[in-house]
Chains A and B, each alone.
Chain A
Amino acid sequence: MDKKTQKRIIIDILLVIALFAGLYVMEKTLPRNSMVFPVLKKGAIYALLAVSMNLLNGFTGLFSLGQAGFMLLGAYTYAILTIPVQSRASVYQYYDGGALTFALPPWLALILAGVVAALFASLIGFAVLRLKSDYLAIATLGFAEIIRAFVQWEAMGPITNGSNVLRKFPYFRSVLVPFAVVGICIFVIVLLLNSSYGRAFKAIRDDEVAAEAMGINLFKHKQMAFVISSFFAGVGGALFAMFNTTVIASTFKSSLTYEILLIVVLGGIGSVSGSVMASFLYVAASEWWLRFLDEPLFIGAFQVPLLKSGFRKVVFSVIIMVVVLFYREGMMGKNELSWEFIKDRLGKLKNKLKNIGKKKVKAEAENE
C-alpha cells in the first residue's frame, strides 16, 4: 500500500467519525420531534435496502423483484424472536400467548433476520435462478406475494400472529444505531464488490456467455449474489420493523419493492454511492419536502388546484418517467462517488462555464 492510499483511508475514517459526531450533536441540540430524525433513520435503512437490491439488479444483472418478501422475512424473524416474554400474552392475545417462550437479544435477532432471509433465498434460488430477466422478476415477485400470504395464514398464528400486528419488540431511539448497522453492512457489500467475486458478478452482468467461457460457474455465482443480497434485505427489513416499531404483513406489499427499485434507478443501476444518496433524497422528498402536495393549499380565498391527498404519488410517477426517459443513467450511472469523481466533474463544470464565457465574448464581438 502506498502513501497516497494510506492518506486516503485516514481521510475516509475521519469523515466517518465526523459524520457520527455531527449526528450526535444534532441529536443533542435539535428538538426531539424534528422531522430530520425520522428522515435520517428511514433514509439510512432505505440506503441498505437499495444497495442490497443494487447488488443483485445492478451488479449481477439479475432483475429480481423479491425485495419486499425478504424484508418481510427479516422483519418477522426479528419481531418474533425479540418480543419480551412478559409482553407475549398481550401481543399474541388471539393465540394464547404464542408458541415461543423465550426472547433473544436484539443484535442476535438482527443477524438471524438476515440468515432466515438468506436461507429462503438459497432455497428458491435453485428454482428461479435458471430463469432469465423478465421471468426471474415474475418468479421473485410471486415468491414475495406467497410469503406474505403465508405469514397471514391462520395456522401460522401462534408464531406470526396471523394478520394481526406484532409489537412491543425492542427498537432504537437514537439515529446513531441505524447509521452504524447500515454503515457496517454497506461497507461489507463494497468490500465484496471490490473483491474477485464482485468482478465475477460484474462479468456475469456484462456477458453471461463470455463469463462462463472464462470459467465462472454461472449458477454458483448467481446463487451467491442472490443469497447475500437477501441477507442484507433481511437485515434491512428488521431495521425497518424497528423504525416502524410494529410489524404487519400488509406493509410488505410489492409497492415497497417498487419504492426501493425507484431509488436504485434514481441513484444509478450499478452504483453504491448513487443508491445511498438517492435513498436519502427520496425519503426526504417523500416524507418531508413534498408533504405539502398532499394537503390543500389556500392562497387567500383561492384554493390551489390538484393539491390533495395522493397527489404526491402522481408527482413521483412523473419524476420516475422523466428519469427513465431522459436520465436513464440515474444520478451516478455506474460511477462511484470518490475524490477523483468530484474532481473530474468540477473540471468539466469549469470547462463548461469557460465555454459559455467564451461564447458570450464571441457573440459580443460579432455584434460589434
Chain B
Amino acid sequence: MSNNVLRLEHATMQFGGVVAVDDLSLNVNKGEIVALIGPNGAGKTTAFNMITGVYQPTNGAIYFNDELIISNRPKGKMKKIYAGGYESHNNKRIVKTPDRITKLGMARTFQNIRLFTNMTVLENVLIAKHMRAKHNVFTATTRIAYSEEKKMREEALALLEMQGMTYLKDEIAGSLPYGIQRRLEIARALATEPEILLLDEPAAGMNPQETNELTDFIAKIKNDYNLTVFMIEHHMDLVMTISDRIYVLDFGKLIAEGTPEEIQNNPRVIEAYLGVSEDA
C-alpha cells in the first residue's frame, strides 16, 4: 500500500470550451506539506473544487487514502466537445458531495473567507463538530443527548484554547480582524478532524509579519494534529519555507514538480511567472 493520502489521476475540468484544469496528475504523501502554485487563472482553485467535490471533473479519478472517491469520463455532449489532453474510457461515474468528502477526513478553507459571519466564534467551530456527533434530531431537540452537546462544546473550547482564541469565543465572527478570521477558518476546518487540510491561499491579503506568523502556525498545527497539508499560495516566502514539494500549474496544465530549490531554478516556471523575453 502506498502512503499517499491524496492522488489525482488525469483530472480534467472543462467548462464549455474552456479547459480550466487539464490532465492533472499529482499525489500528496502522508505528513507532507505540498504547495500548488501558478499564475492567476491557472486553475488552482478549480483543482481544489474538484478534489472537495464542489465540481464534478469532466475526466479522471481522485483517490483519498487509496479509496476512489471521485471519478468520471467524458460522456454525452461532453464526448464531442471534450478538449482535454487525456481521455480515459474505463472510469465509472462516482460523485461524492462535499459533505461526504469532509466526513472522510478532508477539510478545506476558502480563498475568500467563508465564515458564518452572523454567528459567534464558538458556534462556528461547533458547526464543524455537528457532523461527527452521535445524536439525531429527536434526541438533540429533547436534550436526551445533552452529553453529546456538552462533549462538542468541550472539544470546541479545547480547540480554541490551543489556537489561543478562547478570549474571542463570544465575538461575532464577521466582526473580527481579517487575520484572525483566516485563523478561525483554519481552526474551524481542524474541528472536522481531518487527515488532510486543503488551504486555499491562506496568506492572501496578509502583510509580511502576518505571513511569517502564519508560516509558524501551519507548521505548528501540522505537528499538533498529525496532518498532511496541501495548499495554494502566492506568497513565495511562505511556499519556499515550509513546502516539501511544489506543483506548478499554468493555463490548467502541470508544468513542473519538485522541491523548492528545483522549482526556483526551473526555466519553465520562471517563464510562466515572468514571461519570455523578446529577444530570446
B185 to A: closest C-beta gap in Å: 9
- Interface size for B (C-beta < 8 A) is 37
A209: B residues at CB distance < 8 A? 54, 98, 110, 114
Q: Does A218 count as interface, using CB distance less than 8 angstroms?
A: yes
Contact with A along B50-63 (1 / 0, CB 8 A): 00101000000000
Q: Does A295 count as interface, using CB distance less than 8 angstroms?
A: no
Quick check: which of B17-25, B30-38, B75-83, B127-135 contacts chain A, the rest being far away?
A: B127-135
Q: CA of A191 to CA of B131 in the docked complex: distance in angstroms?
A: 19
Establish whether residues B127 and A192, one from each chain, have CB atoms under 8 Å apart when the complex forms: no
Q: Does A207 count as interface, using CB distance less than 8 angstroms?
A: yes
Establish whether residues B102 and A206, one from each chain, have CB atoms under 8 Å apart when the complex forms: no
Q: A195-B140, A197-B140 are in contact. Are A215 and B119 (CB under 8 A)?
A: no
Q: Does B108 count as interface, using CB distance less than 8 angstroms?
A: yes
Task: How many A-B residue pairs have C-beta atoms within 8 angstroms? Tell me.
Answer: 96
Contact with A along B129-167 (1 / 0, CB 8 A): 111110101001111000011001000000000000000
Contact with B along A188-229 (1 / 0, CB 8 A): 100110011101101100110111111111100000100010
B132: A residues at CB distance < 8 A? 215
Q: Does B264 count as interface, using CB distance less than 8 angstroms?
A: no
Q: Does B89 count as interface, using CB distance less than 8 angstroms?
A: no
Q: CA of A228 to CA of B133 in the docked complex: distance in angstroms?
A: 21
Q: CA of A210 to CA of B99 in the docked complex: distance in angstroms?
A: 10
Q: A196-B149, A196-B152, A210-B114 are in contact. Are A216 and B127 (CB under 8 A)?
A: yes
Establish whether residues A195 and B141, one from each chain, have CB atoms under 8 Å apart when the complex forms: yes
Q: A196-B126, A202-B116 are in contact. Are A214 and B141 (CB under 8 A)?
A: no
* Cβ-defined partner of A206 (8 Å) among B118, B141, B142: B118
Smallest CB-CB A-B distances: 7 pairs: A215-B131, A210-B114, A215-B102, A195-B140, A206-B116, A212-B98, A192-B141
Would you list which residues of chain B between 67 and 113 have a CB under 8 Å from chain A? Answer: 97-100, 102-103, 107-108, 110
Establish whether residues A210 and B141, one from each chain, have CB atoms under 8 Å apart when the complex forms: no
Q: CA of A57 to CA of B192 in the docked complex: distance in angstroms?
A: 27
* Cβ-defined partner of B99 (8 Å) among A196, A215, A224: A215
Apart from A199-B119, A213-B102, what are 5 other A-B pairs with CB-CB below 8 Å?
Answer: A195-B149, A196-B135, A200-B127, A213-B108, A214-B130
Would you list which residues of chain A between 166 and 195 have a CB under 8 Å from chain B? Answer: 188, 191-192, 195
Q: CA of A188 to CA of B143 in the docked complex: distance in angstroms?
A: 11
Establish whether residues A199 and B98, one from each chain, have CB atoms under 8 Å apart when the complex forms: no
Which A residues have a C-beta under 8 Å from some C-beta of B? Answer: 188, 191-192, 195-197, 199-200, 202-203, 206-207, 209-218, 224, 228, 334
A211: B residues at CB distance < 8 A? 116, 127
A318 to B: closest C-beta gap in Å: 30
The residue in chain A whose Cβ has the minimal distance to the Cβ of B142 is A191
Establish whether residues A214 and B115, one from each chain, have CB atoms under 8 Å apart when the complex forms: no
14 contacts across the A-B interface (CB closer than 8 A):
A192-B140, A196-B126, A196-B133, A196-B148, A199-B130, A200-B127, A207-B115, A209-B114, A213-B98, A213-B102, A213-B108, A215-B131, A216-B130, A217-B97
B131: A residues at CB distance < 8 A? 214-216
B188 to A: closest C-beta gap in Å: 7
Q: CA of A191 to CA of B108 in the docked complex: distance in angstroms?
A: 31
Q: CA of A354 to CA of B45 in the docked complex: distance in angstroms?
A: 53
Q: Does B212 count as interface, using CB distance less than 8 angstroms?
A: no
Q: CA of A199 to CA of B114 in the docked complex: distance in angstroms?
A: 16
Q: CA of A218 to CA of B97 in the docked complex: distance in angstroms?
A: 9
Q: Does B123 count as interface, using CB distance less than 8 angstroms?
A: yes
The residue in chain A whose Cβ has the minimal distance to the Cβ of B192 is A215
* Cβ-defined partner of A202 (8 Å) among B119, B133, B135: B119
Q: Does B241 count as interface, using CB distance less than 8 angstroms?
A: no
Q: A188-B141, A195-B140 are in contact. Are A214 and B128 (CB under 8 A)?
A: yes
Which B residues have a C-beta under 8 Å from some C-beta of A? Answer: 52, 54, 97-100, 102-103, 107-108, 110, 114-119, 123, 126-133, 135, 137, 140-143, 148-149, 152, 188, 192
* Cβ-defined partner of B127 (8 Å) among A191, A203, A217, A228: A203
A217: B residues at CB distance < 8 A? 97, 99-100
A206: B residues at CB distance < 8 A? 116-119
Q: A196-B152, A213-B108, A214-B130 are in contact. Are A224 and B142 (CB under 8 A)?
A: no
Establish whether residues B118 and A334, one from each chain, have CB atoms under 8 Å apart when the complex forms: yes
Establish whether residues B116 and A203, one from each chain, have CB atoms under 8 Å apart when the complex forms: yes
Establish whether residues B137 and A212, one from each chain, have CB atoms under 8 Å apart when the complex forms: no
B115: A residues at CB distance < 8 A? 207, 210
Q: CA of A98 to CA of B16 in the docked complex: distance in angstroms?
A: 59
B130: A residues at CB distance < 8 A? 196-197, 199-200, 214-216
Establish whether residues B137 and A214, one from each chain, have CB atoms under 8 Å apart when the complex forms: no
B55 to A: closest C-beta gap in Å: 12
A196: B residues at CB distance < 8 A? 126, 129-130, 133, 135, 140, 148-149, 152
Establish whether residues B137 and A192, one from each chain, have CB atoms under 8 Å apart when the complex forms: yes
Q: CA of A337 to CA of B149 in the docked complex: distance in angstroms?
A: 24
B98: A residues at CB distance < 8 A? 209, 212-213
Q: CA of A210 to CA of B119 in the docked complex: distance in angstroms?
A: 13
Establish whether residues A207 and B102, one from each chain, have CB atoms under 8 Å apart when the complex forms: no
A50 to B: closest C-beta gap in Å: 20
The residue in chain B whose Cβ has the minimal distance to the Cβ of A215 is B131
B103: A residues at CB distance < 8 A? 215
Q: A213-B98, A214-B128, A215-B102 are in contact. Are A197 and B54 (CB under 8 A)?
A: no
B218 to A: closest C-beta gap in Å: 19
B123: A residues at CB distance < 8 A? 199
Establish whether residues B116 and A207, one from each chain, have CB atoms under 8 Å apart when the complex forms: yes
